[in-house]
Amino acid sequence: MRWIMRIIGALVVAVILLAAALLALPGDKIARIAADQIEARTGRAIEISGDTSISYYPVLGVETGPVSLANAPWSDNGPMFRAEALKIGVDLAALLGGDIQIKVLDAEAPQILLERNAEGLANWQIAGPADAGAPTASQATGGALTLETLFVRDARIRYIDARAGADRRLEGLEMTLSLPEARGPAELTLKLAMPGGEITGEGRVERAADFLDGQVSPLSLSFEAPGGTATFDGRGGLAPEATGRLELSVSDAARLFEVLGEAADLPAALSRDLGFAGDVTLTPNGQVFLRDGMLRGAGNQAGIEADLRPGKVTQVTAQIAAQSLDLTGFTGGSGSASSGAGWSRAPIDASALGLIEGDIALSAGTLALGVTELRNLSTRITIDRSRAVAQISRLSVFGGSVTGQLVANNRAGLSIGGDLSASEVDLNRMLRDLAGITRFTGSAAARLNFLASGSSVAAWMSSLSGDGSLETGRGTISGIDLDRLFRSGDASGGTTIFDATKASFSISEGVLRNDDLNMQLASITATGEGTVDLGQQRLNYLFTPAALKDDQGRGIAIPVRIRGPWSSPQILPDLERAIQLNADIDKQELEQRAKDKVQSELQDALGVEQGEGESGEDAIRRGLEDKLKNELQNLFK
């Protein structure tokens, strides 16, 4: 990219000619000579209109009216460069000695259009007729070229990239540039007025002549705006291309977006203390490579290596690794779902799924989700058109391991789904974290296929659908000994040891339904059926432990209805169900006889006596409530 040097060189040649002619040439003739020189070096037509004035002492120079430089032939967006006026002045004494010392180069209200078409051609890639060997300005005079001050006021820059669908504009730019030595460093300062504040910056290019001639030079840049800072130290060129250390820090994301004139509705977790530090390479074709990077945000840190191809949708291949990640700021807070407050209704913003596509390998030692904590996560995430699929190769949760896949789809509203299998899950940890129940121990294997939609955890749980199964080996229930209860009617604490449990379930509109729970104990079998409203966190479940028949063929079943919010469910014996289950004869034919028989057996088993004026049913109900209610309720605390 040599167009900057060519334009400067052409203007200098015009001044040299002016020095030779002195008063012999009028201003408009000098302007025409300058225009011819620029066109010869760039291959682009230039128009200089209005009056052209000439100064002679102590600075020899030309001041023009409006100036415009033609764009690339393939563009129809107007001139590449235009300004209300240009002023160039050189040191006359140095010029007579053979050197070109530009005292001032001033562009008033310039408009610069930088453009890349769909084929990747850039309008700043100027290959004019002079490319084959035309001398630079310094070569044309045999002396050194220096620039004391380049001053740009009220500049407007427009950048168009047809490949990425980008059309960005910057206005109100002020810039100064100094190049005191011909082959030395150049220093730059700039100020950019934005809708919500001001961006300032400064930079240094060590070999400015090489840089302006399209070569790579060591350089450093720093920018500061309300809410954030950025620094770069490395090497770069005008292609554009760069490689070096980049550091970004955002102290107030909302304020920074306000400065940039962008609307941003970021999660609270991403509003402050964001950052990146790492080695960055930018190639001339727009690809970005990150190495040895560290991301910071939402109280987390993660190492990152990535390859990015920016565009309307950025293509990404990345590896992200973290010791620990806390995502409770995105899932609506921490704590178990048993608190009684209900699921979080905090909105979940998944718009980022539409910004990138590609493959991301993610690993984390721990991953906090609010409801529970995941460990030893290793997954590969594929993102395509706002849909992400996470293939889980390793994951520990509730002491067990999980494999399968999770899907987040934001193509037409946010939905999540998954097909997961778990083994060796700790029942105590799972029920404690998910429902606040602490009385069960044992390990379980489970399968879950699910789908939910909505923009909050509450919406997900209310729309949940799917199916699954649960199977456990040997375990315990503390707080009650069911075997002792059936043998002696004693419900005063103890521990129930069960040998195995099996159950399957289906989920529809947030309600889990199970009708085949089967729990095997030494002398008791227990079954269960009912619903769990996951969205409303409510239970309506019938749990029926039944003693195995003795030598005389006797057995008894005591159904218990568990109903209400799962943070504090109501647990009551279901007498009507007990009568139905324990009747040995047809209730329709001999209802009273069946009731008498069942009541007698239940009274004997429970050790209760029928009081004066008390029905048999009332006596049984009293006995059941007295012996079971308090202890069974403890199972769900």
pLDDT per position as a tens digit, 177-201: 887 776 789 899 999 887 778 899 9
Q: Which residue has the tokens 């004869």?
A: 585
Cα separation values, 113 from 71, 159, 161, 311, 462, Å: 8, 6, 11, 19, 52
pTM of the model: 0.66
Q: Is the pLDDT of residue 251 over 50?
A: yes
Contact 6, 238 (CB under 8 A): no
Structure confidence at residue 374 (pLDDT): 83
What integer pLDDT is reported at residue 586 of this predicted model?
Answer: 44
Q: Which among 530, 504, 373 has a CA at the least distance from the CA of 445?
A: 504
Which neighbouring-strand residues pair with 369?
none
Cα–Cα distance measured from residue 169 to residue 240, given in angstroms and rounded to the nearest whole number: 18
Q: Nearest CA to 228 among 203, 244, 242, 247? A: 247
Residues 435-439: what's their mean pLDDT? 71
User: Which residue blocks in 25-83 are alpha helix, DSSP H?
Assistant: 27-42
Q: What is the pLDDT of residues 326-373, one digit of tens each?
A: 777 665 554 444 445 678 888 888 888 888 899 999 999 888 777 677
pLDDT tens digit string along 253-312? Answer: 888 878 877 766 666 666 677 899 999 999 988 899 999 999 988 778 899 999 999 877
pLDDT at 217 over 70: yes
Residue 15: its pLDDT value, please?
A: 53
The per-residue pLDDT for range 546-597, each reduced to its tens digit, is 776 654 444 677 788 888 887 778 877 766 666 666 655 344 444 555 455 5
- Contact of 39 with 70, CB cutoff 8 Å: no
The secondary structure element, H or E, covering residue 347 is none
The answer to whether 547 touches 556, Cβ cutoff 8 Å, is: yes
The per-residue pLDDT for range 473-489, each reduced to its tens digit, is 888 877 767 666 666 55
Amino acid at position 625, single letter: E
pLDDT level of residue 319 (50, 70, 90 thresholds): very high
Whole-number average pLDDT of the chain? 78
Nearest to 225 by CA among 244, 242, 204, 249: 249
pLDDT band with cut points at 50, 70 and 90 for residue 93: low
Only one residue has tokens 């730019």, namely 173
At 9-32, the pLDDT tens digits run 555 555 555 554 444 445 565 556
What are the extents of the domains in the chain?
A: 1-182, 313-463, 464-634
Query: Is 153 a residue whose pLDDT tops 70?
Result: yes
pLDDT of residue 590: 41
| pLDDT higher than 70, residue 202 | yes
